[in-house]
Amino acid sequence: MMREAKRMNNVQEIVRNLEVDIVLGHLYPRERLVEEKLAKRFKTTRHVVRQALLELEIAGLILREANKGATVREYSPDKVNQLYQMRELVEGQAALMIPLPVAENRLSQLKQICDDHAAGIENSDMLKIVAANKQFHQVMYRLCGNDFLADTIDEMAKKSNLVRFTSSTDQALLKQARSEHYLILKALGKDDNKKLADICIKHIQPSRLMYLKRHGHMI
């Protein structure tokens, strides 16, 4: 049992690290992921690496083809628009369902996460920025009271990692995201779900627009 637990921890560690690499643009769309190199990097076996790649494939972040191996997935502009249409639906609905105003203890928790995200930007700590951003949205959307909806939002957010690499290191967009987090926090303390939903939907647009611009498809 101990050996199995350690193996699973290794798998999750590799998954988290590769997700961050994709978000930060360290791994590019269509870039090959070689099991042998990853095993050497993470000081583990190819079997463990293969398990991690399977999880990334299930999450929609990589493609695995027979005799070709694994590559980082790339979305067409049309697929990106479809993904973000879905995100607007589920995140907007969740925001409408959150009981407002949110309790003070939960607001304090979210405020601390916002501050961690802001500190990451101030110190150019990309790992902290990515982790705090993910935590902020996960904690917030769990407040909607529907675990299935929150799980769907989390799933869509993971798929969006393939899009975020174009904006995750842009200082202006990072500062915009920081400001919008505090706007969301303020809205959570009020009693206007429509305003909260509008802010949340607006908040996810910059990465989509940046991706489309990079691919020469502005709308």
Which class is domain 77-214?
Answer: mainly alpha
Q: Are 114 and 136 in contact, with CB atoms under 8 Å apart?
A: yes
Which class is domain 2-72?
Answer: mainly alpha
Per-residue pLDDT reduced to its tens digit, 179-198: 999 999 999 999 999 999 99
CA–CA gap between residue 52 and residue 57 (Å, rounded): 9
Residues contacting residue 79 through CB under 8 Å, at least 6 positions apart? none
Q: Which two tokens stand for residue 186?
A: 């303020």
Q: Are 141 and 87 in contact, with CB atoms under 8 Å apart?
A: no
Task: Domain ranges for the chain, please list them.
Answer: 2-72, 77-214
Q: 31 in helix, strand or coil?
A: coil
Residue with tokens 């969301």: 184
In percent, how much of the chain has pLDDT > 70?
92
As a whole number, the mean pLDDT across the chain is 90
Per-residue pLDDT reduced to its tens digit, 128-179: 999 999 999 999 999 999 999 999 999 999 899 888 765 566 889 999 999 9
CA–CA gap between residue 137 and residue 127 (Å, rounded): 16
CB atoms closer than 10 angstroms to residue 136: 21
Is the pTM higher than 0.75? yes
